[in-house]
Amino acid sequence: MRLWFPIAIATAVACGGKKQPPQRNDDTPEPTDKHGPTGKPHPQSKLDAKLDGKAVPMVSALAVRGADGEIHITVSSVPLGCDDIAGDSRWMYDGEVTFGVTEAQQLQPDGDIKPALTSWYYEGATRQESKLATGNGDGANGVPTTVDVDFEIAGAGKDAKKLAVKGTIDALGCPAEKRPKPMMSGQQPGKMTIAGKSFDLGNVMLEPGDWPTLVLTSGGETCKHNADEKPGEVVLRLTWFKKDDPQVSQIELGGTMLPHAMDQTFDKTKITLDPAPPDKIVQTKIKANITVMGYPVEIHGSVVPEMCSKK
């Protein structure tokens, strides 16, 4: 057997600063009990998986609901059980072919909330982007969760193979991820309304530099980026390309409920900050009524940003 980390190398930009799952060191001791997989076969009859063009039957799929609400699905050519995928890393069985996908409920520009694939990974490589998905289930323990997929991904490394997957994953739910209760850093006076859905401001951070950026989150993220911080459902990043120009140059969407997207074409006259661009820890007034990548965005608040270290 060999040790396998679900996410190692990102092949596309991550969504809105979202954290990667924690990973163990390579010296994680191999278990002394070298039994086989703990699950029962659950053939994925509606899923077509090919490795370098050769069909690989997938015989198990398991879903785990993460602490951030996302659903992490592991698919394998061996009959995995819930005990096999518990923790941040696991030992792969000889000859096993496995991959995973992450699904989240995302807010759409019209205000609907729909399931979307946010990442998929195979052999040390991860692709992160948002694609609307169809399926049923929420990753609950003991209940099936289905999701339709269609993607290709090459593993990391010089001699990596390419995996092509198409069809429906039918995953059995495992116990939800158990982690310490996420920490909130406090709350700032203000609200963000995205596609008609209102979010309280959790924290505001100022990232100084040649292109200063003000980060607004509904979660508990801070400049420290600790693992126990609560991820924001909505994260907005306001960036200035010119320090002597008060107009915001770019707005970036992110968070667990929004697809990652950047926009420089919004109406810059409909968002104001005072002072702008902010450059120190001082009360900052924000007012916006704009459209960003099709999403109606309103921001109202008077905040005091946390100052991050200059990168």
Select from 116, 145, 173 the last residue of a domain.
173
Same domain, 151 and 259: no
Q: What is the pLDDT along the chain (311 residues), one digit of tens a residue?
A: 555 555 443 444 333 333 333 333 444 445 444 568 889 999 999 999 999 999 999 999 999 998 778 999 999 999 999 999 987 778 889 999 999 999 999 999 999 999 999 999 999 999 988 899 999 999 999 999 999 999 999 999 888 899 999 999 999 999 998 765 555 556 788 999 999 999 999 999 999 999 999 999 999 999 998 888 888 999 999 999 998 999 999 999 999 999 999 999 999 999 999 999 888 888 999 999 999 999 999 999 999 999 998 87
CB atoms < 10 A from the CB of 91, how many? 14
Same-domain status, 104 and 158: yes
SS3 206: strand
Structural domain that includes position 219:
190-307
**pLDDT at position 6, please?**
52
> Considering the domain boundaries, does residue 178 fall inside one?
no
Q: Is the dihedral of CA 71, 175, 180, 90 positive or negative?
A: negative
Q: Are residues 35 and 145 in the same domain?
A: yes
Question: Distance of CA 68 to CAs 5, 36, 137, 201, 301, Å?
Answer: 19, 31, 16, 18, 26
Q: Which two tokens stand for residue 11?
A: 């092949």
Q: Which residues of 10-42 are buried (b: 16+ CB within 10 A; e: fewer)?
A: eeeebbbbbeeeeeeeeeeeeeeeeeebebeeb
Domain boundary among 146, 173, 200: 173
Which of 110, 144, 173 corresponds to the end of one domain? 173
CA torsion sign for 275, 279, 284, 288 is positive
Q: Classify residue 152: in a domain, yes or no.
A: yes
Does a structural domain hold residue 94? Answer: yes
Q: Is residue 183 part of a domain?
A: no
In the block, tokens 């010089």 appear at 158
- DSSP classification of residue 256: T
Residues 153 and 198 in one domain: no
Whether residues 166 and 197 share a domain: the answer is no
Residue 161 lies in a domain: yes
Q: Tell me whether residue 185 is in a domain.
A: no
pTM beyond 0.85: no
Residues 212 and 140 both lie in one domain: no
Q: Give me the number of domains the chain comprises.
A: 2
- pLDDT value at position 20? 38
Judged by DSSP in three states, 270 sits in helix
**Shared domain check, 161 and 41:** yes
